Amino acid sequence: MSITRRGALGAAAVAAALTLGLAGCANSNTIGGGSSSSPASSGGATASGDAKSIVVGSANFGENEILGYIYGGALADKGYSVSYKPAIGARAAYLPALQNGEINLVPEYAGSLLSYLDKSANAKSGDAVKSGIDAKIGTLNAKALDFAEAADSDSLNVTASFAKEKGLTSIADLAKAGTVTLAANPEFATRPDGVKGLQSVYGLKNIKFKAINDGGGPTTLKALVSNQVQVADIYSTTPSIKQNKLVTLTDPKNLFASQQVVPIVSTSKATSDLESIVNGVSAKLTTADLLDLNTKASGSDKPDYQALAKAWLSEKGF
């Protein structure tokens, strides 16, 4: 992603500025010139009481905007009147908008959503995270629908040559790699699921840490491929993983919480028909799809996000 999920959703200053400024964001096609299958909303649009009138919101980074258009597009194809408020801002902006009815549906990431709802939560696996969300989501006047297989989470990556040399497939295998330097955002040094977690969960005492404050971006990638560092924390749907044939180490002990995509919908709109449509989309959405969509979105031709969403829906048979 050109803007990382953690950076975009953790920007408190941006959230404060945007929480009350959603009305002017409504649009059914804000990027490029692609046409919409649903009517554009007016600048002051708010969510309607009609169960088949849906306002889809999204966070302020490309992947989440595309997801919003995917879910919204599937609903529009089934006769729903769909409008969009894309790029609202951080979680602290768009979840209150969901709570007060300014938007009705937003794509979320499970582990981060649970942390927002319950600061004391320590669930890691998908089922435990889902249970935690279900216990708290009512405070937002909302319901969590089915998790997609697709996830966008922290992932530890090595070059293919280093993986082959050391026989690495999982994080646990780093124990046999000798002293290695790991690059990540500065907070990884103190996060429970950062260096401390590598020590406590995996017993790794051989990790040196190098802070690179670009969210697994170009500077981190350059350090990894040039062997300045041997391991890098890069978000799992970042195109550079595929483009550079990096090996993502599996996380068998669930150091990183599940970050599966989960659509959140207003309880007032959560009809069985809507749930069936949205859950059908989630059932076909994979992490590989997110990687492919992000790769296309970051291409030199800068394609329209809504067009990418429509192409995905067509490809998947919607």
Instruction: Check if the beta carbon of residue 76 is closer than 8 Å to that of residue 68.
Output: no
Residue type at position 207: I
Does residue 145 sit in the same domain as residue 195?
no
For residue 35, what pLDDT is reported?
29
For residue 299, what pLDDT is reported?
85
Which of 227, 248, 269 terminates a domain? The answer is 248
Domain that holds residue 83: 5-151+258-315
Query: What percent of the chain is predicted at pLDDT more than 90?
Result: 70
In angstroms, the Cα distances linking 61 to 64, 124, 136, 247, 283 are: 6, 24, 25, 25, 23
Does residue 79 sit in the same domain as residue 196?
no
Instruction: Check if the beta carbon of residue 152 is closer than 8 Å to that of residue 289.
Output: no
The CA distance from 246 to 221, in Å, is: 10
Q: Where are the alpha helices (DSSP H) in 118-244?
A: 126-136, 160-166, 195-202, 218-225, 239-243
Residue 313 has pLDDT above 60, yes or no: yes
Confidence of residue 121 (pLDDT cuts 50, 70, 90): confident
Residue 233 β-bridge partners: 156
The CA distance from 87 to 62, in Å, is: 8
List pLDDT tens digits, range 293-310: 999 998 888 899 999 999
Confidence of residue 141 (pLDDT cuts 50, 70, 90): very high
Confidence of residue 40 (pLDDT cuts 50, 70, 90): very low
DSSP state letter for 50: S
The CA distance from 82 to 127, in Å, is: 31
Average pLDDT over residues 166-182: 98
What's the chain's Rg over C-alpha atoms? 20
- What the block records as the tokens of 202 is 């995996």
Instruction: Check if the beta carbon of residue 121 is closer than 8 Å to that of residue 283.
Output: no
Average pLDDT over residues 179-203: 93
Closest-CA residue to 174 (of 253, 238, 288): 253
CA angle 53, 55, 59 (to 5 degrees): 165
Residue 3 has pLDDT above 70, yes or no: no
Terminal-to-terminal C-alpha distance of the chain: 25
Q: Name the more confident of 134 and 119.
A: 134
Residue 33 has pLDDT above 80, yes or no: no
For residue 90, what pLDDT is reported?
84
Residue type at position 125: S
Average pLDDT over residues 192-201: 92
Q: Is 269 helix (H, G, I), strand (E, B) or coil?
A: helix
253 in a domain, yes or no?
Answer: no
Confidence of residue 27 (pLDDT cuts 50, 70, 90): very low
CATH number at residue 167: 3.40.190.120
How many CB atoms sit inside 10 A of residue 19's CB?
17
- What the block records as the tokens of 300 is 């030199």
Q: Name the more confident of 171 and 214.
A: 171
In angstroms, the Cα distances linking 81 to 37, 105, 194 are: 9, 13, 44
For residue 212, what pLDDT is reported?
95
Q: Is 93 helix (H, G, I), strand (E, B) or coil?
A: helix
Which of 217, 248, 279 terminates a domain? The answer is 248
Residue 39 has pLDDT above 70, yes or no: no
Mean pLDDT of the chain: 86
Query: What percent of the chain is predicted at pLDDT more than 70?
Result: 85
Does residue 112 sit in the same domain as residue 215?
no
The CA distance from 73 to 201, in Å, is: 41
Count of H helices and E strands in the chain? 13, 10
For residue 47, what pLDDT is reported?
60
For residue 48, what pLDDT is reported?
59
Does residue 131 sit in the same domain as residue 20?
yes
Confidence of residue 161 (pLDDT cuts 50, 70, 90): very high
Average pLDDT over residues 156-184: 98
List pLDDT tens digits, range 243-262: 999 999 999 998 998 899 99
Average pLDDT over residues 113-131: 89
Torsion angles phi and psi, residue 44, rounded to 5:
-105, 25
List pLDDT tens digits, range 50-74: 889 999 999 988 899 999 999 999 9
Torsion angles phi and psi, residue 147, rounded to 5:
-70, 140
The number of folded domains in the chain is 2
CA angle 147, 152, 158 (to 5 degrees): 140
- What the block records as the tokens of 91 is 């979680």
Does residue 277 sit in the same domain as residue 237?
no
Does residue 266 sit in the same domain as residue 307?
yes
List pLDDT tens digits, range 256-293: 988 999 999 999 999 999 999 999 999 999 999 998 99
Which of 248, 266, 291 terminates a domain? The answer is 248
Does residue 267 sit in the same domain as residue 167?
no
- Please give the model's pTM, rounded to 2 decimal places: 0.75
Does residue 131 sit in the same domain as residue 26?
yes
